[in-house]
Amino acid sequence: MRKVYLTLADGFEKLAAGYRALAEEGTSPNPVNESPTKEEPSIDIETVRAVLAEKSRDGKTKEIKALLMKYDAGKLSGVNPEDYASLLSEAEAL
């Protein structure tokens, strides 16, 4: 039984030494969780609708229709939500 305890103690000493080395370097054992993910803010349909409505009021209805057709949709509800960001940027450029 004594040999088991010595093996466990050696293992804990090695583990502690590893954590001390990480602490001295200033890193963590799991750096993936520390780095913030850089996600683009999600754009919802209401945001896109507001921009399209504003452009339409400015007299750019034909351009808006052409833009929607570019995304294979006659209506905003037919546009794939993954395309909202690019649709919004193109609409703002009008």
Question: Domain extents for the chain?
Answer: 2-34, 45-93
- Check whether 31 has a pLDDT greater than 60: no
For 52, the 3-state DSSP assignment is helix
Alpha-carbon distance 21 to 16, whole Å?
A: 9
Burial readout 72-88 (b: 16 or more C-beta within 10 A, e: otherwise):
eeeebeebeeebbeebb
What is the tens place of the pLDDT at every residue in 69-88? 888 878 888 888 888 888 88
pTM greater than the 0.75 cutoff: no
Percent of the chain with pLDDT over 70: 84
Report CA 53 to chain centroid distance, whole Å: 27
Give the closest residue to 52 by CA, choosing from 27, 4, 5, 84. Answer: 84
32-45 per-position pLDDT tens digit: 555 555 555 688 88
